[in-house]
Structure 1
């Protein structure tokens, strides 16, 4: 590897996230929650152990604290605690809505700081050569102009998390209707996890992609150079 290349930290990947955070927990809660197998409580504990272990593995692999990995771990712990304590499903719905809602608020609040969260979300160092971009903006005295474009993207990204928050709450309220601690409730929890991807993740990802495409276009429009010249090789 040449000295000019940036060594990318190892990542767990899309399929790893899909398998351990969604597929395996769904299968366990759907097919092993009856009394003849693990039972409703043990199946929840076993199912949630996969995303929990995967979250810690991701932290160890990347060798840095990722706020979103931490939030994922906290989310799993809260889901397990609420379920094992047999608290009303309303608590799950509130928890499901609170986490993306808090991220959306963080995106808006940090927009007024020197390190907007939107840059870490869609324009991180692995994607954009920030020293080169910042130098170009400073030379052309366009830093403030570009920051205004970043602010617009922050509103788009924040809206994606607020949308996720609303959809999370509605999905939990719609699916979790059985008594906590029963096999039916555990199966519903698995169904909610399975549906969260097409119902919640896909619409949110569309908005994130729109924000990314918008910023790519603005990088080119503001600097007058192709966006490819500011991307990491």
Structure 2
């Protein structure tokens, strides 16, 4: 990371629909993997010798379709969405080719580990991923912060803070990879390409949010808190001065108070 990086200019991007994201990437695949044979088995039987494979293909079609739809609509993608798509496709490949379920656990561990490595490698590029995850111009007024850092001669100190926060993010992905592996080995034990395999994959998807996402998010929150505290100490700016939504609310309250 350079000593005096200019913050990226904030682009007007359409916001992602959170409900569509959850629906297509989590809820619908879980439902189909659990109930797909019951709901669509008779329709799939003429086309698939093994209906479980057809159900698996139908389930992964939703996250794949959402990735394509979201990219067409917002013209935006990043390494996280790409690796998420790769993970879905690998799950489909394991089920269709009837590869040993041990490789499912390896895949579940490898994806977050690759993300963690990518976060660290990005420190050596002009576009560190810390700026995508935490120090994001869509959420934070990075231009105001940068101007204050320059005024207070704190740019180098802030860059060191971003490096520390990056290591915390990498640690969260490492934890996620370890938990993913052991959870997958515990839950997904049936032969791939079977109805039981589909059911276990859906259970894995559901449990991962509680067992994996919460601890990882806790570490990310620690990194975010450190980042915001650092911004305040190095710039003198309060939280409501730098968060885009909070800025508007503060301005509205100020206008109401001046009347």
TM-score, normalised via structure 1 length: 0.90
- Alpha-carbon deviation of 1:11? 2.5
* Residue from 64, 82, 86 that aligns with 2:76: 64
2:172 is the alignment partner of 1:168: no
* Residue from 22, 28, 48 that aligns with 1:24: 28
| Aligned-partner SS, 2:192 | coil
2:137 is the alignment partner of 1:136: no
In the TM superposition, 1:93-172 aligns within 5 A as: 93-172=105-184
- State whether residues 86 and 180 of structure 1, in contact with CA within 8 Å, keep that contact through their aligned partners in structure 2: yes
* In structure 1, C-alpha distance between the alignment counterparts of 2:157 and 2:220, rounded to whole Å: 21
- Alpha-carbon deviation of 1:216? 0.8
* In structure 2, C-alpha distance between the alignment counterparts of 1:7 and 1:109, rounded to whole Å: 25
Aligned to 2:256: none
Deviations 1:17-38 (A, max 9, x none): 2211111111111112369555
* In structure 2, C-alpha distance between the alignment counterparts of 1:231 and 1:186, rounded to whole Å: 42
- State whether residues 96 and 193 of structure 2, in contact with CA within 8 Å, keep that contact through their aligned partners in structure 1: yes
Aligned to 1:15: 19
| Aligned-partner SS, 2:37 | coil
Moved over 4 A (4+): 34-38
2:229 is the alignment partner of 1:217: yes
- State whether residues 33 and 187 of structure 1, in contact with CA within 8 Å, keep that contact through their aligned partners in structure 2: no
Number of aligned residue pairs: give it. Answer: 228
Select the structure of larger CA radius of gyration: 2
Aligned to 2:198: 186
* In structure 1, C-alpha distance between the alignment counterparts of 2:23 and 2:119, rounded to whole Å: 28
Closer, same or farther: CA 80–36 of 1 in aligned 2, 3 Å = closer
Aligned to 2:220: 208
Closer, same or farther: CA 16–203 of 1 in aligned 2, 3 Å = farther
- Alpha-carbon deviation of 1:229? 2.0
- Alpha-carbon deviation of 1:163? 0.9
- Alpha-carbon deviation of 1:114? 4.0
* In structure 1, C-alpha distance between the alignment counterparts of 2:17 and 2:121, rounded to whole Å: 29
RMSD (CA atoms): 1.9
- State whether residues 13 and 74 of structure 2, in contact with CA within 8 Å, keep that contact through their aligned partners in structure 1: yes
* Residue from 54, 57, 76 that aligns with 1:45: 57
Deviations 1:103-143 (A, max 9, x none): 11122222344432112111111012222211221222111
- Alpha-carbon deviation of 1:7? 6.8
